[in-house]
Amino acid sequence: MKTKVLVAGASAAVLIAGIAIAQVSEHGERRFQRIDTDGDGRISNTESEAFRADRFRKLDADADGFVTKAEMPDRKKHKRSGQLEKRFGKLDADGNGTVEKAEYDAMADSRFERMDSNGDGALTLDEIRDHRQKHHKRHKDG
């Protein structure tokens, strides 16, 4: 059986939302600007959906509707650290050992909603930074 996986790439934990830009770094700001296609300083749900559809398409190298471990970037690094299996488990909502686009989208939508602290249906760089800081604090504090 093929093991299907979706990864939000180098930002997998972050990109699950298709918004792998939660870093406060210059790189994160550049990624924010790429996703914010209309340049209004906010990432709308529509922009987020377009970004993650493109991301999924790029990860799914053989275009079979899912991403396998073999298609996953940095799989050796993540496998060594144990992160690969952890991420698979989070993404594989139905527990069937595969992650399809629908599962990826559901996780991404959930994360987008959590990050959208003012509930306006769009993410600002400040909201993403705040979410990232809270996320890191939670994991750091244990």
Min mean pLDDT across 17-26, 37-46, 66-75, 119-128 is at 17-26
pTM score over 0.85: no
* Angle between helices 125-141 and 101-115 in degrees, nearest 10: 100
Between 55 and 20, residue with greater pLDDT:
55
Answer for the pair 129, 22: CB distance below 8 angstroms, yes or no. Answer: yes
Q: What is the structure's pLDDT at 3?
A: 41
CA distance 40 to 96: 40
